[in-house]
Every structure is written in structure tokens, then in C-alpha cells.
Structure 1
Amino acid sequence: MKPSFLLFRFLCLFLFWASMENASLQAQQIGLGFLFRPHVRLGMDYLPSQAINDSLRFQMNRYSLNAVVPLSGKVEASLQDLSLKASYHFLTFNTGFRTPNVEYASPNSRLYNASIGISGIRGALLKGAYFYTLNLGFVQEGQSLDQMHPFGIAAFAKLQIKGIYKHNIYGVALLYQYKRFLPVPLLGINRKIAKNLTTQILLPAQATLSYKINKKLNVDWTTSLLSFRGGIIPNLNWIGNQNLNPTFQNPNLNYTHLRSGLMVSYKIGSRWQLEAEGGYALFRNLYLQDQNEQYFKHTVPATFYGGIALRMDLGKGVVSSKLFGNDF
């Protein structure tokens, strides 16, 4: 068996990480995908306007840019003991902003974020592999870009090989934001259900059912958690009409939902891939927070959501992915 084919088998063992997207602490989500094709991805998500009550409506757009740059990689093969070892390191960059539309926020409110990080993988063909990621970034904390709040994510995980289509993963992530540290356990599985049909589950982040229709077309059904927090400009005129007169120092918008939907990925040529997503957002919660006080805390009715993205591959690779590193 040629070493190149052994490497291909080795890399394919990590494919189930491709759909892992969210395990959130306030404004951030963990995505521990790795060993993917270098790329740039530009995306837009849309939540339609939804009535909360007679005086409040909520709508939001999200725009994101993600990039993956390989730093180093090597493979060590030994024909004497038929072993294969590999190690890879990647640089990841993510940035974007959200435009929330709700009556108690100024129409000019935008929630900015950016991060940069390094991720790596090291392992052996028959013994499994170890993965790490370290990311640092900021989210908009106050009413302007001059008020930013740092955050960090560090994670370490072990991939355990139980069979060709049977893999387990366990590890831990440490999240830092708003002067708090939060450890998050990571538990996941990857299983092949039928030909071209696999399931990937990562707790507490996401569950995905993937079906490969052909070489160009792939369909994923995904359920995942999203949560964010960011500073806004309050609409003081509207708030004053609600018989409230708070003195805001650092108002932040908090939003959480669980979403479940279908993503269709289609390859356009050798370098381009178009992605379209649609589904249902439910268990939605929204409120405004300033210091230790909460205002306008509501459960938002469930609604449909949509998204579209365009990805350009920057180089050749054995395994490709929709997402890499952290997705904010």
C-alpha cells in the first residue's frame, strides 16, 4: 500500500470535525475543525423580522469572513514497522459584524468582532491523534469601536479510532470573556450509517447528518446552538416612551437561539463552492443588559432563517470543510 494512500486514510479519519460549529460563551462559538483545504469564505446569514409583542420586533443580519492559512506540515512513514505519523499547523482568521434591528437599539447599531488563532494536529495512523487550538480576539463591548472586550479560546482533544467508520473524541475547552473563565467538556462521535450517509455529534455544540449525493453536491442537516453578546447604541427616545429612564453606561444586547436546518453545498469548478442554508430558529431569548441590570427580557417566537456563502480554495488539500477554526 502506497504511503500517499495511507495518508489519505489518516486524514479522512478527521472528517467529522468539518461540521462542528458552535459551543458558545456569550458572543463566541467554538469550531474545532482542522486539516482542511486552505480557503477564504465570505458568508451572510439572515433572520427575518419577528414580532415580540405589540411594540417590539426583532430582526438581524450577520456578515462574516473566514480564512485558513497552512503554516507547516510533515508526514513520517516507516516501512519497517508500517507506521505513519503526521503533524500539521494552521493559522485562522475570522472577522465580521451583526446588524440587530430592535426598537430599543439605534438603527446604526453594529456588533463587530475579530479573532486570530493557531490550530494543530499530531497523531499516528493506528493510535489516533491529538488536536489543539488557541484563539484570541475581541467583540464590541460598548457603543463604539473604541470600546472592545477581549476574549480567548483554548481547546485540547483526543481522537480515538475504534474502526474505519467509528471514531470517538473527548477533550476540554477553556473560554475566557467578560473577566470569566468557563471550562467546557467536549464529547463526540462519528459513525457511518449507510453508503454516503454519516452522522457527527459533538456535545455541547452540534449534531449533523451528512449525505454526499455526488462529487459536487453535499447535503447536511444540522442542529446547533448560537449565542452572542455585544454593545449597542440605545434608542433613548423609544426607551423613554416606555416610562423608563435608565442611565446607561455600557449597554449590551444578549441573544440566544437553537437552530436546525439544511445546508446544501455545490462545487463550482475546482476552487469555488457555493453554500445555501435554511431552517428554523427556536428557543430564542433576547434582552438588554447594562451592568447587572436586565431590560426588555423576552422570549422571541420561532422563525425561519437563511444563509448563503461563497468559498474559494487557496490550494490543494486532501480534505475540505465548510468551516475551520472559530466561527463568530
Structure 2
Amino acid sequence: MDPENNTGISEFHLLGFTEKPELQPLIFGLFLSIYLITVFGNLLIILAVSSDSHLHTPMYFFLANLSFVDICFTSTTVPKMLWNIQTQRKVITYAGCITQMYFFILFTGLDMFLLTVMAYDRFVAICHPLHYTVIMNPWLCGLLVLVCWILSVFHSLLHTSMVLRLSFCTEVEIPHFFCELNQMIQLACSDTFLNNMVMYFAAMLLAVGPFIGILYSYSMIVSSICGISSAQGKYKAFSTCTSHLSVVSLFYCTSIGVYLSSAATKSSHSNTVASVMYTVVTPMLNPFIYSLRNKDIKEALMRFSRMTALKGIIVLALKKCP
């Protein structure tokens, strides 16, 4: 498909955070640091789960998938922003913008679905502990992740195909640091009524639906925990949920905050800054939440670091041998 024949343009301009050149190095250094911490932290979680047999359980299988999605989620937007700052160019091609928007919607949906699946996993573990290993078998876990991917792919394809039918005026400036769906629809020159209806309907179905599922799971979990007689048993049951509950709260609170800020103000700059919370900050904090609040993850990371250090010593010793 030729972009110029369908939209009238071949590229967009991402305005980013500020026009002030003196602030560009600061923004570049800040987001580069956040990106490296995000990739390194989530990669450590994946390596710890895959290398430690103690963590080969449904809970950590879903966590490893969430960490992989968070790496991809951040990599969809931040590298392009860093490249634009480094080269002092704000241009993104039409094809690049559509591709970025597709993967951003894809990984946003995956985040929501995986958090819902993880809530269901905790619900089964606490409310049906005797049947946990039977219900959450490897086949079901794999199927749940596959369904998450399929739903997210079709959801993203729907929005992308709807945007492809729009026409854009020349010299389009996107007041954001990435190609966000709502911004793209607002900048279109053609009729966007159908796009808005599809966007709001999909948001209600695929954002509110998983959130209701999470709320239901935790209402049942709380009810089950309240039925435990001993205080130690209540603490042990609830402690297995604290990390996931913290991540869910962080993701949804920041997302709702962005929505409310965009509804309360017309300032595109404030909306851009607010969106940083769930697009950049949340994926960075997730590994810290799980590693600091989860004893198994901390022990697995310590074993992984010791094993890596031992391998490094052996390699150095072998190199010194004649």
C-alpha cells in the first residue's frame, strides 16, 4: 500500500516533550537509563525463572511472559524517541508510525490479559489449593498465554486497519513521543466517527473486561483468606498476591490517571508527560516489585548470580591455562 496515495503524506513529526535544545541531553540520558534498567531488570527475571527449577510453576511462567512483554512494550517507543533526540530529527515515516502503533496496542493488550491470567492463577491457588496442580496444568497455562496473544493480535489489527482507511493532511505533527492511537485519529482529515466508536467499544470490552475479572478474582481471594483461622495462614496466603496486586495497581492507576488527565485538560504536553507513567515507568518498576517483595525470586536471582560468577571464574581460569 502506497502511503502517499491513501493519506497524502509519507511521514509524521513527533514533537516529543520539549522544543528546548538544552533539555534534550537530559531527556536522552534519563530515558536511556530507564530503558536499560527496564530491559536488564526484566531480562534478569526471565533468566532467573528459566534457570531455576524451583520457579517452574504457573505463577512464574506467567511472570516470565509478562517480563518479556514489558521489554517489547518499552522497546516499541523508547528507542525511536532516543534516536530522534540523538539525530535531532523528529520524523517518523507513515509505515513506521503505523507499525509502532500496531505493536504498542499489541503489547498493551498483552499486559492487561496477562495480568488477568495471573489473577486467575492466584485465585485457583488460594481458593482451590488441593486442585491447583490439576487445574493449572502446563497445557492450560500454555493455552491461556496463546489466547492472550491471539486476542491482542486481532485487537491491534482491528485498530490498525481502521487507521489505514483514514486520510491525513500534509505536515502532520503528533504532539507525543510515539504514534498513539487517539492522537492519530484526532489528526486525521477524514471522518473519524467509526474509528472513535470502535476505539471506545474496544476499550470497554478489552480494558474494563479484564479489570472486572481481576476484581472478581481478588474478591474471591479476600473472601477465602478471611475464612482462614490462623493469622499466619492469612499472611502466607496474602503474601503470594502482594507482588501481583502491586503491579496491577500500578498499571491501572497510571492508565486511569492518564485518561483522567487527558479528559481534564486539553494540554497535549501534560498528556504526553502523564503517558510516560504507564508506557515507560511501569515496565521499569515491575521487576523491582517482584524481586523485592518475592522471596523465591530473590533467592533465584542470588543463585543465578552465583552460578554466573562461578562460570566466569572457570572461564578465566581456563584462559590462563597454557
TM-score by length of 2: 0.24
TM-score by length of 1: 0.24
| Structure with the higher strand share, 1 or 2 | 1
| Structure with the higher helix share, 1 or 2 | 2
Larger radius of gyration, structure 1 or 2?
Answer: 2
